[in-house]
Amino acid sequence: MQNKTIKVKFDIPLEYLIGHLRYGHREGIIELTKEEFEKLKRNPINFIYDYDILYNLELIVDDYCIDDCGPILEVNYEVINNAE
């Protein structure tokens, strides 16, 4: 008799994570008029805040550190294939 296996995919939410972000950035493309572009060149940081475009850019987390995690809240699983 041959041993049959069942492939199972898990998704296990945790109560909490403790750690910190080490580095991240925002990126994206924004269309500007010539006048807006001139203001951007004069003071890029102020321009971003004055024109409220920071949150129109995607937040990318480049590096992080997990120090601890909490207990399992539940176990969700899905059978990927059934060899029976």
Going residue by residue through the chain, which has 84 residues, state the pLDDT in tens, using 9 for 90 and above: 567 877 888 888 889 889 998 888 999 999 999 999 999 999 999 999 999 998 889 989 899 999 999 999 999 999 887 655
User: Which residues are CB-neighbours of 13 under 8 A, at least 6 positions away?
Assistant: 72, 73, 74, 76
- Tokens 């049959």 label which residue? 4
The rounded distance, in Å, linking the Cα atoms of 30 and 48 is 11
Every domain of the chain and the residues it spans? 6-82
pLDDT at 43: 94
Are 27 and 57 a contacting pair, CB within 8 Å? yes
Q: How many residues does the chain have?
A: 84
Are 36 and 51 a contacting pair, CB within 8 Å? yes
